[in-house]
Structures are given as structure tokens and as C-alpha cells.
Structure 1
Amino acid sequence: MAKELPEGRFPKTYYPNENHFETSGSEWWVSGFYPGTLLYLYEALEDPALKKEADRIMKDLEKEQYNTSTHDLGFMMFCSFGNANRIHPQENYPEILMNSAKSLASRFNEKVGAIRSWDSEGDSFIVIIDNMMNLELLFWASEYSGDPKFKNIAVTHANTTIKNHFRKDHSSYHVVNYNENTGEVIEKRTAQGAANESAWVRGQAWGLYGFTVAYRETKDPKYLEQAINIANFILNNPNLPKDMIPYWDFNAPNIFNALRDSSAGAITASALLELSRYVDTKASKKYFKAAETMLNTLMSDEYLADKGMNGGFLLKHGVGHHPENSEVDVPLTYGDYYFVEGLLRYKNR
């Protein structure tokens, strides 16, 4: 993949039927996953070529620390520079991460009690469940700087998400639209799922992972309870296949012929491995076993690409945005990232 990657471009996906390798600029939300995956692999294998390539591409990513037009700075900067700072600290990494946290915090609205996800016109203030994944950067920033502002924003966002994003069965909407002046909920919908009231599977995974992190960083039991509720919704769902790699939406039409989403399986497995550390013995065994099954399935020939195939990506059969017919049944750079993270977490357990 490194050999095929044009200068200043970041991997997105690969379309095997057209032999088309799709890339993005550094401003696109997935840009941090390639360097992050390289750094996780370097951590496991200590191959200097992996670190060299991560260092090269992070120079292109560095400017996004000042990007205030996106909520995805956690994905972009913490998966990359956050891991780099942990694995091989350098003098400039904390400053880059702090600037990234300031840029993310600039999107917070006190009236709504949340960070704006997608920019929109008028009084509309859109928040998506994915945004839970960007709070880890803010938790880090408060711990590093001693300034509670960043943590307070993260906690407020998490609390607003619990209040408004979840149904009684603990499944999540994808999108909640607020009035930015009053904080009132205008609309709840599921943009990337099968229907507004459906449980889009990657959205459930983002919520599970995000609230597990929120509990780790705060030790607030309501976040642990929320993560447990989401985990149980996923694992007890009658439409979850035995091999534990979910269909792209738990309520997809003609579900038993629906596409699987390997990226959601990878995110869920990684999250469950962390969550299994915070719960009682019975639940811990259940979550660990489920994650183990997911990772074993992802390592099977059905999902793990042969060497030199799949455009250099590891996993096959990811589903990006099914309703828009975008990135459907293809590898996804974030699927690879959470797959490798899950494998490392499994190994470390």
C-alpha cells in the first residue's frame, strides 16, 4: 500500500472489480487510520519500515491540528499522533494534540450541550453517534494540560448523547438534530442505516466504544451502564450471526441475505475487549468470548485478504454508506485500524 500511495494522499478503500485504489486528502475523516494502523503494527513487530512510513505520512496530517471545520479530529489526530505520542514520544506531539483538542472544542455549543458534528444551515445543530469516538482526545487534553475545560466538554457531550440518542431497547439513532439556540431536539434519524428507526450496526459499535472510553476516563458508573446496555443489545440481538460479524444494519431488509460489515465487527471486538476489563466475571467472560469469536472470524479466509491482494488492505467486506451505495462490500481503512487494535488488545490479555 505504501508503494501505491500517491504523495499527500491517504488510503480510503479499494474496489477490487475495477482495481481502483481510492484515497483522500488529509482533511477527510479517515486520514488518521493509516498512520495509526502502521503505528500499532510497529508496536507489535518493531519493524522500522512501519514507523518510517507512519512518520512520513503524519507530516502531511500535521496541519489538520488547526482544522475547526470537522468533529473528526479524534479519529484524525488521536489515532495517529496520540498513538505516536504513546509509542515513541517526540517534543512536538503534545502541542499538535493540544491544538487539535482546541480545534475540536471550538465546535461545542453550551446551549445544546454537545459538539457539532456536521455543519448545517439556519438553527440546525447536527450531532451523530460517531462523535462519541472523538471525546478521547478531549479527555487526554485535560489530563495533559490540567485544564478541566476539555474533559467538561467531553462529559457534557456524553451526557447529552445518553439523553437523546438512545431508544428504550438501548439501540441508537445515527443523527440527532437540535435547535442551536434552544437545545431542543428537532429530529432523530438514521442516515447511514436501513431506516430512521433501524439499528445501523456501525453506529451501535461507535456508541459501545465511546461509552467504554468515557467510563475509563471518568469512572462514572452511568457510562459503564450505558456501555453494558449497548453491548447486550448487540450480543443478544436475534439477527446477530453465530460467527458474530454483524449485518450492516440489524434491521436491514431481507436481513439473512444482507451484507456483513467487517468494520463494525472489528470496532465491536476491540471495544468488548476493553469493556471486559471493567465488568463482573460472568459478563467479562461473555464479552471476551464474543470478541474472540469476532476476531477469529475476521482472521478467516472469508474476511482476511490474501497477501498482495485487496489493494493492500487487511479486511474484506466492509460497508460504508449503504443507502448512498458508497463504499459497499469493500475494505475500509478504519476497519483495518480497529482490527489491528483488537488483535493487540487480545494479545495483551
Structure 2
Amino acid sequence: MRRLIFIGVIVAIVAACSSGKKDQTQLTSKLADQLKVLVDSTNAQAKLPRSWTPEKGYRMIGKYDWCSGFPAGMYWYMYELSQDNYWKEVATRSTLKLDGLQHYTKTHDLGFMVFCSYGNAYRLTGDEAYKEFVIEAAESLASRFNPVTGAIRSWDWGKWQFPVIIDNMMNLEMLFWASKVSGDNRFRDIAVTHANTTLEHHFREDMSSYHVVSYDTITGEVERKQTHQGYSDESAWARGQSWGLYGYVVCYRETGDPKYLKAAEDIAAFIIPNLPEDLVPYWDYNDPKIPNVKRDASAGALLASAFYELGTMVEDGQRYFDLADQLVESLSSPEYLAEGGANGGFLLKHCVGHLPGNSEIDVPLNYADYYYLEALKRKQDLKK
């Protein structure tokens, strides 16, 4: 009898795994069909798609826009998920549109622009030319580091002396990677110093984060703190919280320093109680009009991807896996996942770029789709 029960359990597990694999395959096929609409509409152009609205059509951008690396990254992930060489060809074309960025020193966002495109290209093809491109881009990013402030400068505009935004945590991954493959510890040292400076000054007691911290370039002291893209300076802008969580998960992965794991878990502990029932964040966790405010699917996609990795780092990781699964389920529902042929071919609806600036509100955004696909890939790898 016990043997029969055991066999029954094994059969049930195998059936569940088989069903899950079938569901994932069907979803991948659906996403591929949708993204082909985007490719057919935009890939022949020299520019790259950032967003879309029914009224204005596509927002196309040049390679120097901070979002320029996400289309190629989306296509590389689709190639990885589908194993269809069509996506490899599409991804390659979008990647090569970024040639020249490796020497560009006027932005902190080279991690987004280069590591999401050329980094994934090298990971999936092994082409040494891609590797050298990323290392050169890391050199360009490192040129923006200031030892007095202990950070990489973000914007070159505005009235700040030396602005550093929480988003910049996302660009450290490229520096860690470049250090490993080149043997140059300078990249790693810069990444660690920036992460430490950000951890010291960007976070409030509850581990919510400011968006911008500006430093005095003579003394290195904090000049002022703001939340440029959120509801108010003291509010918790949702995507900013996701950038911080994801960034410190990467820092722990690359260094093994427990203070970064603690930071990631403490940030998660702030975020999780503030999430709505479907877990897709409000655009700012402190907007007084909640629940009657915009959602930001891009912040949700980031959380899903970060939670999958964070779950592999702690003993009770299943709670993070469960949150990630619920987020992916919500984002894959009709509420957030576009119908076939709609949404300009982008995958996710209901993203918010810069609400106070009245820019990209309740629209698709290429970085939302990128991190959504990354989350799906991480889920697939965990199931294996």
C-alpha cells in the first residue's frame, strides 16, 4: 500500500512538472507572437522602440538614450526562452545598433545600455567581440567615479553638485562582471564603494529609499536628498525601491558580503507590506490617493526577477519564490499582459515612467518587458 502511495505521489509530481512546462511553453509562444509585432514595426529602423501609445505610436530612441539596450536584451531573452534562431538574428541586429556606446562617458546608465544588450549577447554566443565591448564600456562607466564622494555620478544636468540616483545600483553588475573577466579589481572596488556609499546615505530608517542624493564634491558630504520621480521628496517611489532591492541582491551575489543580503531583505521587508493584493506596485507607495492611483508594472517585473534570485540566497527562500510566482501570474494575466497584436507589440501594460513630469504614464515600457522576460527565465531555471 505504501509503495502504491509513493508511486502515486511521484506520478502527481511528474504530472505537475509536465503541466508547468506545457504552460510555460504556451506562454513563451504567446509572447513571441506578440513581440514579432514590435519587431515587424520597428526593427528595420536605425532607432529603437522605448514605448508606445495609441495616439502617438512608437517612441523611438537613439543609442544614447538610457533605454536603448533593453530591446536587444528582450530579444536575447526571447531567444533563450524559445531557442528559436529568429530571435538570435533579431537580437543581433538590435545589439549592433549600439556600436560606439563602449566609449561613451556621459552617462551612468551604461550597465542598462550595454550589459543588457552586449552582456547577454556574449553570455549566449561566447563571441569575444561582445566581451571586449562590455569591458570597454565598464572602463567608460568607471570614469564617472569620484573618490571624494565615493560614488559614480548620475546625471550631468540639473542644479545638483554631484547627483547619485538609486537607479545607479543597477549599473554595478557590469562592473563586477568586467572585474571578473578582465582581472582588473578596480572595477569591483568602484562597485563596492558605490554600493556602500548608497547604503549609508540613500535609505531611511524603514529602508525605503530616496531617489536622488547629491554630494558636495569638495567635502564628500551629502548636499541634499530628493525623490525626483516620486510623489514627494519623503515618499517611496515604487520603481526606485525595486532598483535598490535588485541592486543589493546583485551585490550579495558578487561579493558574498552579508551586509548586502541584509540590505536586500530589509528593503524587501519594507516593500512587501505595501503591495496590493495582486502584488503589482502602486507607482509610489506613499501616494495618499491609494488605491485609486496608477500601477507600475515595470516595478513589479523588477520585483519578480529580484525575488527569484533572492530566494536562492536564504534558507527560507520559498517565501520569495512564492511572491515572484504570484507577481508573474499577475503580470501574465489579461489585466497586465497585452492582447495579441495590441499595445504596439509590447508585452506589459500599465507602466509609469515619470508621473510628476507627465511622461510615459500608463503605457508599455521596454524595460518592463525586459525584466518580465528575465523573471520568466529565472523561473524556468529554478523549475529545472
TM-score (norm 2): 0.88
Aligned residue in 1 for 2:359:
326
230, 241, 244: which is aligned to 1:193? Answer: 230
> How far apart, in 2, do the equivalents of 1:316 and 1:9 lie?
22
Aligned residues: 344
Structure 2 counterparts to residues 158-237 of structure 1, below 5 A: 158-237=195-274
Match of 1:3 among 25, 29, 40: 40
- Which amino acid in structure 1 is aligned with residue 204 of structure 2? R
What SS class does the counterpart of residue 232 from structure 2 fall into?
coil
Matched letter for residue 47 of structure 2: R
Q: Does 1:273 pair with 2:311?
A: no
Conserved 8 A contact 2:295-2:351: yes
Alignment partner of 1:159: what SS? helix
> What secondary structure does 2:362 align onto?
strand
Report matched runs for 1:42-61 at 5 Å. Answer: 42-61=79-98
Q: Report the counterpart of residue 161 of structure 2 in structure 1.
A: 124
Pick aligned residue for 2:279 from 222, 233, 244: 244
**Which residue matches 1:135?**
172
Task: Give 2:13's aligned residue.
Answer: none
Q: Deviations for 1:159-183, whole angstroms, at most 9, x for unmatched residues?
A: 0000000000000000001111211
Provide Cα deviations, 1:28-62, integer angstroms capped at 9, x if missing partner: 00111110010011011111111111111211102
Q: Which moved more, 1:177-186 or 1:334-343?
A: 177-186
Does 2:76 align with 1:32?
no
Is 1:111–2:148 an aligned residue pair?
yes
Deviation at 1:19, TM superposition (A): 5.0
Tell me if the contact between 2:160 and 2:214 (Cα under 8 Å) persists in the aligned partners.
Answer: no
Residues 132, 206 of structure 1: 8 Å contact kept:
yes
Name the SS for the 1:328 alignment partner: strand
Contact kept, 8 Å, 2:154 with 2:165, in 1: the verdict is yes
1:13 corresponds to 2:46: no
Separation in 1, partners of 2:159, 2:372: 39
Instruction: Report deviation, 1:120.
Output: 4.0
Name the counterpart of 2:78.
41
Does residue 69 of structure 1 match 2:106? Answer: yes
Q: Per-residue CA shift, 1:79-134, capped at 9, x if unaligned? A: 11111111111121111011100000000000000000001478800000000000
Instruction: List gaps (5 residues or longer) in structure 1.
Output: none
TM normalised by structure 1 equals 0.97
Q: List per-residue Cα deviations over 1:249-283 (Å, max 9, x = no partner).
A: 001131110000000000011001000000122xx
Contact 1:8 1:26 in 2 (8 A): no
The runs of 5 or more residues in structure 2 that have no matched partner are 1-37
Which amino acid counterpart does residue 360 of structure 2 have in structure 1?
E
Partner residue in 1 for 2:381: 348
Residues in 2 aligned to 1:183 and 1:91: alpha-carbon distance in whole angstroms? 39
| Fraction of identical pairs, as percent | 54
Following TM superposition, where does structure 1 have runs of at least 4 consecutive aligned residues deviating by more than 3 angstroms? 120-123
Q: 1:300 aligns with which of 319, 326, 333?
A: 333
CA contact (8 A) 1:194 1:253 kept: no
Query: 2: CA distance between counterparts of 1:271 and 1:85?
Result: 22
**Which residue is 1:262 aligned to?**
297
CA contact (8 A) 1:120 1:126 kept: no
Q: Distance in 1 between matches of 2:79 and 2:270?
A: 35
| Partner Cα distance (2:304, 2:156) in 1 | 31
Which of the numbers 349, 367, 372 marks the counterpart of 1:339?
372
How far does residue 236 in structure 1 lie from its aligned partner after superposition?
A: 2.1
Secondary structure, counterpart of 1:250 in structure 2? coil
Task: Give, in whole Å, the separation in 2 of the partners of 1:278 and 1:122.
Answer: 40
Amino acid at match of 2:311: S
Rg larger for: 2
Q: Are the counterparts in 1 of residues 114 and 137 from structure 2 also a CA contact under 8 Å?
A: yes
1:340 and 1:296 map into 2 onto residues whose CA distance is 13
Alignment-mate amino acid for residue 269 of structure 1: A
Aligned CA RMSD, in angstroms, stands at 1.1
